Structure 1
Amino acid sequence: MNSGTIFCTVFAATFALSACKPSAPHPEIFKTQTDALEKAKGVEKQLQQSEEQRRAAEEEQQK
């Protein structure tokens, strides 16, 4: 094989592969992740409120 044939083959392969674009992930993938994140934030908020209530009750008992 001469260098012209190799060049054309490599060029054609590069051109063919560059035309392929990866598809975007399905939106449901992100939805499940954001739902899980929102649920975790809700749990964190509940824990913080419980901690604040516990501290307030503890301060009342010390008085």
Structure 2
Amino acid sequence: MKPGAIFCTVFAATLALSACKPSAPSPEIFKTQTDALEKAKGVEKQLQQAEESRRAAEEEQQK
């Protein structure tokens, strides 16, 4: 096969595939991810508060 024919075939296939739009993910996927992110932020906040409490108790013991 000639290089020009290969180029034309690849170019045509690229155009055909680029014309196809993927369907949008359902909003439920985003809700699940958002909920997981919010839960992780809540856990992080709890861990930070626990660390602050531990440090305060440690400083109090050292006095």
TM-score band (shorter)? 0.5 to 0.7
| Unaligned residue ranges in structure 1 (runs of 5+) | 1-12
Q: Quote how far apart the aligned CAs of 1:23 are.
A: 1.3
Task: Give the structure 2 partner of residue 59 of structure 1.
Answer: 59
Return the TM-score normalized by structure 1.
Answer: 0.67
Bigger mean CA offset, 13-22 vs 53-62: 13-22
Tell me the distance in 1 between the aligned counterparts of 2:14 and 2:50: 60
RMSD value over aligned CA atoms?
A: 2.1
Report the count of equivalent residues. 51
Corresponding residue for 2:33? 33
TM-score after normalising by structure 2: 0.67
Q: Are the structure 2 counterparts of residues 47 and 23 from structure 1 closer, same or farther at C-alpha, using a change threshold of 3 Å?
A: same
Indicate the SS of the match to 2:25: coil
1:21, distance to aligned residue in structure 2 (A)? 2.1
Q: Using the aligned pairs only, state the percent identity.
A: 92
Letter in 2 for 1:44: E
Tell me: CA distance 1:20–1:54, structure 2 relative to 1, closer, same or farther (3 Å): same
Question: Which of 1 and 2 has greater Rg?
Answer: 1
SS at match of 2:48: helix
